Amino acid sequence: MASVVVRNGTVVGPRSVAVADVLVVDGVIAAVGEHLEAPRDSREIDATGCWVGPGLVDLHTHLREPGRESAETIESGSRAAAVGGFTAVIAMPNTEPAIDNVALATYVLDQGSRALVDVAVAGAITHGRLGERLAPMGELAALGVRLFTDDGTGVQDAAVMRRALCYARPLGVRLAQHCEDGHLAGEGSMNEGALSSRLGLIGRPAAAEEIMVARDIELVRLTDSPLHFLHLSTARSLAMVGAARDEGLPITAEVAPHHFTLDESACANYDAHFKVNPPLRSSTDAAAVRASLTNGLADAVATDHAPHTAELKDLPFDEAPAGMLGLEHAASLTLEALGASQADPIRFFALLSRNPARIAQLRREDAPVRHSAHGGSVVAGEDANLVVFDPAERWAVRAERLQSLAANTPYHGRELVGRVRWTIVRGSLVVADGALA
């Protein structure tokens, strides 16, 4: 395997940054330092002005395979991930059928092993994501599955959720909850409030999310089993997480870029590209989600990348499926929310790489079963999963230029700052100079 030397970038560590060269040989970081000597056939990358950090890790990617390959495949989704600076993604199990058994999880892992980035898989908590009988979590854990979720819906029955938490703890795995009380959320297609009334759309109240967050915090107290909250969208949810964590409960939380860059007002034109679950909330909630990036309430930014075909997204607002693309603009939107040129690179990589890798157990010290290590320090000996990100480059989102098979981005035409220049997966350049290699 050819070697790569990344010259003169700002290398972002967990606690400090320093301008240095990074030499990659045979898939591993061989050296980090000033004016490194590289083998003669090395590929030279000029990273002047760029951040060099661990490859990004997405805790929440809908790859749609098996079942809805017209919207996305493992292969196309991994291309979108690479362009977005991700070196590993966690494939969500709400496929058709759901990933609730070893055969299907193995299928996704095998397909993923041929993809451009590392693909880990989350298993369903219950059979068919129906919220009734537990999936074979022990067998899936033995395969290397470390996250379990019925994402798309929350586990509605508290007794089932309690039992799942009890099973998870001794297996060393973590449950991840999509917090929505199904009865209260009902058939709502946007946030419940004055705007939904005016638009004549049924709303999903913030309380539908908050009730499940509150319930699950109590279940974590009861079981002492770790729990991850997916895509929290309200100020109240985040405040409850902060209070629970202050008590020492093992709770982690992610937020999604659309919840800190957009609010419910985007739904005013009945454009279904802005329909997502949990829905875009009030401007107050959006501000609280944005603040969670810097005040420590959010551990991670996760994309909730949810591809849908144009055919479905062109349906009327209340009939169209919920979800939007995320992988290719998450890094830029996070940079913008962290203050663009004022953004702290250490926080950026904590939110997008180090913390998600820890939650998904993809770091070297967690001994990943089938994957290379992600989210580590940029030091000699680590697996070479790296991203070179230019925090000053400006670009505009064009739906038709995205690598995803689908085009349902709510950001079409939006000007962004910060762009992935190079993505290195296991020592190979998969994105070079901003384009797939």
| Cα(229)–Cα(244) distance, integer angstroms | 12
| Cα(430)–Cα(437) distance, integer angstroms | 5
Q: Which is nearer to Zn ion, 241 or 424 (CB)?
A: 241
Least distance (Å) between residue 432 CB and Zn ion = 33
State which of positions 150-169 bind Zn ion (CB under 5 A). 151
| Cα(267)–Cα(275) distance, integer angstroms | 7
Least distance (Å) between residue 176 CB and Zn ion = 9
Q: Which is nearer to Zn ion, 165 or 176 (CB)?
A: 176
| DSSP one-letter code for 305 | B
Q: Which is nearer to Zn ion, 203 or 427 (CB)?
A: 203
Active site residue 46: no
Least distance (Å) between residue 316 CB and Zn ion = 22
Least distance (Å) between residue 302 CB and Zn ion = 10
| Cα(298)–Cα(256) distance, integer angstroms | 10
Stretch that binds Zn ion, among 33-41, 173-181, 182-190, 342-350 (CB under 5 A): 173-181
Least distance (Å) between residue 140 CB and Zn ion = 19
Q: Is the peptide bond before 54 cis (omega within 30 degrees of 0)?
A: no
Q: Which is nearer to Zn ion, 259 or 419 (CB)?
A: 259
Site string for Zn ion, 406-425 (x = CB under 5 A): --------------------
Q: CA angle, 369 as apex, 366 and 370 as ends, to 5°? A: 130
Stretch that binds Zn ion, among 125-133, 171-179, 264-272, 284-292 (CB under 5 A): 171-179
128's CB contacts (< 8 A; 6+ apart) are 97, 98, 100
| Cα(73)–Cα(282) distance, integer angstroms | 33
Stretch that binds Zn ion, among 133-141, 172-180, 388-396, 400-408 (CB under 5 A): 172-180
Q: How many residues lie near Zn ion (CB under 5 A)? A: 2
Site string for Zn ion, 97-136 (x = CB under 5 A): ----------------------------------------
| Cα(78)–Cα(80) distance, integer angstroms | 5
Least distance (Å) between residue 175 CB and Zn ion = 13
Site string for Zn ion, 175-194 (x = CB under 5 A): ---x----------------
Least distance (Å) between residue 168 CB and Zn ion = 18
| Cα(237)–Cα(407) distance, integer angstroms | 30
Q: 200 in the Ramachandran plot: left (φ > 0), alpha (ψ -120 to 50) or beta?
A: left
Phi, psi of 196, deg, nearest 5: -65, -35
Q: Which is nearer to Zn ion, 304 or 383 (CB)?
A: 304
| Cα(280)–Cα(152) distance, integer angstroms | 16
Residue 399's alpha-carbon distances to 293, 329, 406, 410, in angstroms, are 27, 11, 9, 9
- Which position has the token pair 């990589």? 349
Three-state SS for 89?
strand
| DSSP one-letter code for 99 | S
| Cα(251)–Cα(217) distance, integer angstroms | 8
State which of positions 207-226 bind Zn ion (CB under 5 A). none
Q: Which is nearer to Zn ion, 227 or 335 (CB)?
A: 227
Instruction: List helix spans (H) across 204-315.
Output: 206-223, 235-246, 257-261, 283-295, 310-313
State which of positions 313-372 bind Zn ion (CB under 5 A). none
Q: Which is nearer to Zn ion, 100 or 151 (CB)?
A: 151
Q: Which is nearer to Zn ion, 151 or 336 (CB)?
A: 151
Phi, psi of 384, deg, nearest 5: -85, 75
Q: Where are the beta strands (DSSP E) in 103-154?
A: 118-123, 147-148
Catalytic residue (choose from 58, 181, 304, 383): 304
Position with the least CB separation from Zn ion? 178
Phi, psi of 430, deg, nearest 5: -100, -25
Which of 311, 309, 315 lies closest to 272 in space, CA to CA? Answer: 315
- Binding residues (CB under 5 A) for Zn ion: these are 151, 178
Catalytic residue positions, numbered: 304
